[in-house]
Amino acid sequence: MEESKKIYWKGIEQLANSPEYVKHAHAEFAQPGPEEDLGHSRRDFLKMMGFGMSAVALAACEAPIRKAIPYVNKPVDIDPSIANYYASSYINGGDYCSIVVKTREGRPIKIEGNDLSGVTKGGTSAQVEASVLSLYDNARLRGPKAGKEKISWEDLDKQVIAKLSDTAGKGGQIRIVSNTILSPSTNAVIEKFKAKYPTTQHIQYDQNSLYGMLKANEESFGKAMIPSYDFSKASVIVSVAADFLGTWIAPIEFTKQYAQTRQVDENKKDMSRHYQFEANLSISGANADYRTQIKPSQEGAIVVQLYNLIAAKAGKATVSGGAENVNHLAKAADELWANRGKALVVAGSNDKAIQVLVNGINDMLGSYGVTILPHLPVNYRLGDDQAMANFITEVESGKIDVVFFYNCNPVYDHPMGGKLGAGLKNVSLSLATSYKEEETGLLVNYLAPDHHYLEAWNDAEPKKNQFSLAQPAITPIFPSRAAQESFLIWSGVSDADYFEVVKNNWKTWFYKNQTLDFQSFWDKCLYDGVLELPVEASAVTFNADVAAAASAIASNYKASGFELVIYENGTVGNGSQANNPLLQELPDPITKAVWDHYVTVSPKDAKEISFDESKTKYASITVTGKEPITLPVLIQPGQAQGTLGIALGYGRTKAGKVADGLGKNVYPLVGLVNGSLNYTVSDVKFEIVSESYQIAQTQTHQTYMGRQTVIQESLLSEFKNKDWKREFHPKVSTWSDPEHKVDPGSLSLWKGHEYKSHHWGMAIDLNSCIGCGACVVACNVENNVAMVGRDEVIMRREMHWLRIDRYYSSDADPENWKEIEDAADNPEVVFQPMLCQHCNNAPCETVCPVAATTHSSEGLNQMTYNRCIGTRYCANNCPYKVRRFNWFKYHDNSQFESVNTAMNTELGKMVLNPDVTVRSRGVMEKCSFCVQRIQSGKLTAKKERRELKDGEVITACQASCSTGAIVFGDVNNPESKISKLLKIRPADEKNPYRVDKITDNPRAYQVLEEIGVKPNIWYLSKVRNKEAEKA
Amino acid sequence: MQVSSSIRDPLITGGKTVKDVSHDISRHVENKPANLWYLAMAISVSLLAYGLYCVWMVLWNGIGMWGLNKTVGWAWDITNFVWWVGIGHAGTLISAILLLFRQKWRMSINRAAEAMTIFAVICAASFPLIHMGRLWLGFYWALPLPNAFGSLWVNFNSPLLWDVFAISTYFTVSLVFWYIGLIPDFAVIRDRAVVQGNNLRAAIYNALSFGWQGGAKTWMRYESVALILAGLSTPLVLSVHTIVSMDFATSVIPGWHTTIFPPYFVAGAIFSGFAMVLTLLIVTRRVFKLEDYITIYHIELMNIIIIVTGSIVGIAYITELFIAWYSGVEYEGYAFYNRVSGPYAWAYWSMMTCNVISPQLFWVKKIRTSIVATFVLSIVVNIGMWFERFVIIVTSLHRDYVPSSWTMFHPTMYDIGEYLFTFGLFFTAFFLFAKFFPVINMAEVKSIVKSSSEKTNQDASH
């Protein structure tokens, strides 16, 4: 063998195999010797020339200079690109929410609920979510002012103190006007001020007054207070015109409690039954099981009737009056009585008499101590309507010398605001502390701007013994000063520091019997944001003259003419945050209108208006003794015939570019009943005028056309059945075996994805979702979604990634495709949050010519903005129509400056989330399942060398949802909340990572299941707690 | 090759000789244009200028200048695109398929029809370009070019990409085919220019004709190339609109997701293409006094094709309705219910009237041999075909699966402006063609003069 192996050599050198040869054997060519290096070659010369030329050319171009000042010394707790979170409190008048503020590089960019709070329990609302943008409102005051002139704080203090001592010297009257103040430290400051100037009176009022309720409780229980409510304990809820899910007292708390009673699963097949009697269709009415349309003038009679029905059962004396033949009322009374001890009756009226009777009913039902907690009174609405009215009369008659408006705007938002504004010229010193000028600030002598709440220290006591702290999340942007500090300085305190005041107060008030040192105690309170001290339970005894109340009702209400309900809507609310485009462009939960002010009218009362594409006419509305106003008509299914609804919060004149000139101010239309503000008005003249208008609505089609693939619902009585199955299960025939129909999901042209690690999914419970819209705002803030303004919404181009579809039921036969377009007279309502469904067989992905939208290895349908060329085929081919195209450049574009402030003003841009690209024009965008949050969660887990835990990644919409309707998580993880909720398991046990999954939760369904796109979002069908209708 | 029955009616009337042909057709190139031509050009160029302004506004400000919205992502843009592509079908069909089938009557009309095809395809192509949100990137990102983006490649699953290939191939082949046909005719004009002593024209047309000498070998090669190109073009006639139809057929939208789209679209394209050829030729033969070359017989034959394709289209419409009902698919059913009786029913019934009912009038010989009736109906057909695309695109999109997103579409002045832009472009190009290029293929027509002119006929009868 050895012999036969021939060896060939490359050359004689290889045969010799000298060490020199071996060294260079790998190089094919001989290495150039040193003598061949001629120094700089011609090529080098050209290279250097080229570099030199381009360097000179580049140096000649001036790059735009953007001021960004780096940290010279990095603060210990700030890492660029890492978010910091601070617990704080949202306080806006009497509205309260315990929050966590997300900051990036010292800028608050997002607000989330604080789970540690026993009051709001992690819930938020649209207004809370949006308030972060109000911090960056361009209409904010840039410092103190005297009249129109800028002034220094020192000069302002000198002048104010001079005038104050002058007034005090001659015994002149001083008033501090505010909304309800939740802060005990602020109240202490005001007390200090009062001590210095004893002629001072503090007057509180509320835009949405509960004065009647305060008085009723005083009469009933001897104490003017508003109790806490616990809807979660109620099996039967009867609401007479109280929109407790939208605006009444504390909706953030109530939605959470209410949702608990509405959630059902196989183990808990029981839910509350909710009766609503109202004129306007409110969010509460939309979620009710039984909704009865009534006129506002009937509210009293209905309460009387209910009282009598219950009293008859309880064996108590009935009172005179009442309304016969109110649909569902007798049934409600029966059920209330059957469920006494776990029932609740609420009424929205601000009339003392009505509230006394409601107290009487609740007393008979044994609600006190269970669903109503009088031992835990709330401080949200302490406004005194009478005191405020007296004050305004005094101002008018020139009896007042000094007025301080503490963060309130009564010239705009009090019914007598006009008179107050005119009377202010009689006042020698008037001063407003709001952080914006606003209508009241326009008429005062001095503006001493307070910080925005996100810049300020503060505390709050929303409920008895439930305290919370507010801490600054940013250095004050402008030279504003805490109003409390101002009051202290004006009271003669030399080194006023409100932070120290709050801290010392907490030390004196709460730092008792602690094992911790004070600093640790304080740090803990600050970290948690809340301090909750025990409250002793105590019973109350009802003792009020119900007969007198009933006769007051009988004499106070007469049905005549059109009746007007003045309400707060779910978006701009009382108008204090009207200059916030996030709220203006948030579709009203019911009407889906944005940027518009309108009068809601029953379809029967405006037959001449077709309301095709929201095209409508103006109507003139005249309240006796008031100036007539004209507003466009919005045809509202469910509105009681003969009633009108107009929202507060519009008609601002000095709020800023966003809100000024939108709609009409209807505070002046608010009347008086029984000494308190009355938000319903009778005998209103309503005339449609010929002028036309188009309202901007994000949804112009009202019904779901009987398409069960979109909305699935059932009755509780059916759901209780052990073998209950959803009614709608689409099946398809196949060519190979036409006899046996199969699930559409089991057929596919594609091989199907396999997700080896995470498989992100979302479950949305249609039974929990109340349609409030907090998630929409949260999504907009988190993902830098552009606001586009009224005109563009009319062009149907809103950019929202997440929308809440609101469908009305129709009385028509589902086969009749014409008539089913029309909503029923008193429709049932269903809300459906709709966002990118992250289809596993995504129709958008296959049609993109440049692969700009693709599928991730974790089931996300991802959009690569940089790659998008904007053919829009993906949006056309999206069966859910959730993709949004950048029709224009929405940032840095003067066309959108007044509607999209977050992307067009230097101040507004501070709110942008640096983790999310601001999209350029011409590209498509859509929900990303908050991919930046997923990435951040995964990176944290990776750094800590552990697995990502369930609940670590929470999407913005989920975080904002008070009802817990949205659950996001990994469906590959059998232990995750979503997997357990859906009872999800792999379709093929041998291949658990395959995309195909089976849900054993009988309520789980996917929208448009039969087209086989296999979404990663499951909906849980709606269950209504009502009797089966007799066919 | 030139075997034909002498009993047949001549294709070219008026006893034209070969010399007459050269003269009749070349003189339009040689003479000063008529005042009417200047007027027509002025109108076309003004339309083009206004259209360019609208295009500019859309490119500068964004697609939002159009009336599109979150639900209706395509409307006039793609409607116009499909409409123009459809029109662009007749040229190649006439030149290629009829060449392969040895239909000599095509010879008088193929030049103009091909020119129309090329201009129509250019107009059509402008819409997919302008409709892109980011044209400045899209015009080359949609091509499978090697790039420095790593492994980034186009998505071969996307019918829009197939469109890019289909349209660009069709355009290239049509252009080459057309130009090859023009070469001998350019040479004729050059030769006449030499005789007339116009050196400039001689030089220009010499260059355009690539120095054509007309040797027997050259002619042989010329004819081979024409045949090869005809062979290549033939599948394209079917493929282009098939692929355009797949822009819709491969989607999940009810009303788009339809398997009959390819044949239905091809028939519709031929239908509209022939109608457009008729519209243009009826004007051209009158203005350029070419009645002997483009005869009533030609018009009648084309009208017959319109009856056939119009009927195919009509059957397709009815099939769609039937299947929508028969399939039992709720969304498909609703999509067609909505077409027929929804807010855009006026568009649907305009389409039905123009496309299904109006061509049936051509069954009457008197109508299909009437110039006026043909002219009117040819325009009606193209109005109908525009509505067909509008109906397919807009009424399917505006109400699809989830009723909350249902919207209406309203065009803005920029939607209209973009459409006018293509009219300006088309007619400017067509009038330039009519003035500077021989509008009838002289070389081919000369080949049938002998066999089909009256004179030959008379000779045969002796």
Confidence of residue A1031 (pLDDT cuts 50, 70, 90): very low
Q: Would the CB atoms of B62 and A869 count as touching at under 8 Å? A: no
pLDDT at A594 over 70: yes
Write out pLDDT tens, residues A863-878: 999 999 999 999 999 9
A884 vs B: CB within 8 A = yes
**How far is the C-alpha of B53 from the C-alpha of B47, rounded, in Å?**
10
| Partners of A456 in beta bridges | none
pLDDT at res. B460: 47
Confidence of residue A770 (pLDDT cuts 50, 70, 90): very high
The pairing of strands A236-240 and A273-278 is parallel
Q: Would the CB atoms of B405 and A869 count as touching at under 8 Å? A: no
Task: Assign B216 to helix, strand or coil.
Answer: helix
Residues 163-202, chain B, touching A (beta carbon < 8 A): 164
Nearest residue in chain A measured CA to CA from B328: A732
pLDDT tens series, chain B, 462 aa: 455 555 566 777 777 888 888 888 888 888 888 888 999 999 999 999 999 999 999 999 999 999 999 999 999 999 999 999 999 887 788 778 777 787 787 888 888 889 999 999 999 999 999 999 999 999 999 999 888 877 788 999 999 999 999 999 999 999 999 999 999 999 999 999 999 999 999 999 999 999 999 899 999 999 899 889 888 888 888 899 999 999 999 999 999 999 999 999 999 999 999 999 899 889 888 887 888 888 898 899 999 999 999 999 999 999 999 999 998 889 999 999 999 999 999 999 999 999 999 999 999 999 999 999 999 999 999 999 999 999 999 999 999 999 999 999 999 999 999 999 999 999 999 999 999 999 888 888 888 876 554 454 455 444
Nearest Cα of chain B lies from the Cα of A872 at a distance, in angstroms, of 6
pLDDT at A35 over 80: no
Q: What percent of chain A has pLDDT over 70?
A: 97
Backbone angles phi, psi at A465, to 5 degrees: 65, 10
Q: Would the CB atoms of A869 and B250 count as touching at under 8 Å? A: no
B341 vs A: CB within 8 A = yes
Backbone angles phi, psi at A377, to 5 degrees: -70, 150
Write out pLDDT tens, residues A918-947: 999 999 999 999 999 999 999 999 999 999
Q: What percent of chain A has pLDDT over 90?
A: 82
Contact B109, B294 (CB under 8 A): yes
First to last CA, chain B: 23
- Determine which of B70, B135, B400 to mutate to test the interface with A (most A C-beta atoms within 10 Å): B70
Looking at CATH, the fold of the domain delimited by B18-142+154-446 is given as: Formate dehydrogenase/DMSO reductase fold (1.20.1630)
pLDDT at res. A59: 72
Give the Cβ contact number of residue A142 at 10 Å.
Answer: 11
Q: Would the CB atoms of B70 and A1008 count as touching at under 8 Å? A: no
Mean pLDDT of chain B: 90
Confidence of residue A53 (pLDDT cuts 50, 70, 90): confident
Residues 914-933, chain A, touching B (beta carbon < 8 A): 920-924
| Domains of chain A: residue spans and CATH | 145-208+383-453+478-500 (3.40.50.740), 212-378 (3.40.228.10), 560-694 (2.40.40.20), 713-1024 (3.30.70.20)
Please name the residues in contact with A323: beta carbons below 8 A apart, sequence gap of 6 or more.
A298, A301, A302, A304, A305, A329
Nearest to B62 among A832, A873, A921 (CB): A921
> pTM score, two decimals?
0.91
User: Distance from CA of residue B253 to its chain's centroid?
Assistant: 28
Residues 102-121, chain A, touching B (beta carbon < 8 A): none
Write out pLDDT tens, residues A174-209: 999 999 999 999 999 999 999 999 999 999 999 999
Q: Would the CB atoms of B253 and A876 count as touching at under 8 Å? A: yes
The pairing of strands A343-347 and A372-378 is unpaired
Per-domain boundaries in chain B: 18-142+154-446
Nearest to A884 among B70, B128, B137 (CB): B70
Write out pLDDT tens, residues A291-343: 999 999 999 999 999 999 999 999 999 999 888 889 999 999 999 999 999 99
Backbone CA torsion sign across A93, A96, A98, A104: negative
User: Distance from CA of residue A548 to its chain's centroid?
Assistant: 41
Give the Cβ contact number of residue B202 at 10 Å.
Answer: 18
- What integer is the mean pLDDT of A682-707? 94
pLDDT at res. B462: 46
Please name the residues in contact with B396: beta carbons below 8 A apart, sequence gap of 6 or more.
B248, B253, B254, B255, B256, B335
Dihedral, B115, B120, B122, B127 alpha carbons, nearest 10: 180
- Determine which of B405, B407, B410, B414 to mutate to test the interface with A (most A C-beta atoms within 10 Å): B405
Q: Which two tokens stand for residue A160?
A: 């104010």
Rg of chain A, C-alpha, whole Å: 33
Letter string b/e over residues A63-95, b meaning 16 or more CB atoms within 10 A of that residue's CB: eeeeeeeeeeeeeeeeeeeebbebbbbbbbbbb
Q: Which two tokens stand for residue A882?
A: 């959730």
Mean pLDDT of chain A: 92
Cα separations in angstroms, B107 against A498, A933, B15, B152:
96, 68, 17, 48
Dihedral, A696, A698, A701, A703 alpha carbons, nearest 10: -130
B360 vs A: CB within 8 A = no
A844 vs B: CB within 8 A = no
B276 vs A: CB within 8 A = no
pLDDT at res. A66: 65
Nearest Cα of chain B lies from the Cα of A253 at a distance, in angstroms, of 30
- Determine which of B404, B406, B412, B415 to mutate to test the interface with A (most A C-beta atoms within 10 Å): B404
- What integer is the mean pLDDT of A423-444? 94
Contact A49, A43 (CB under 8 A): no
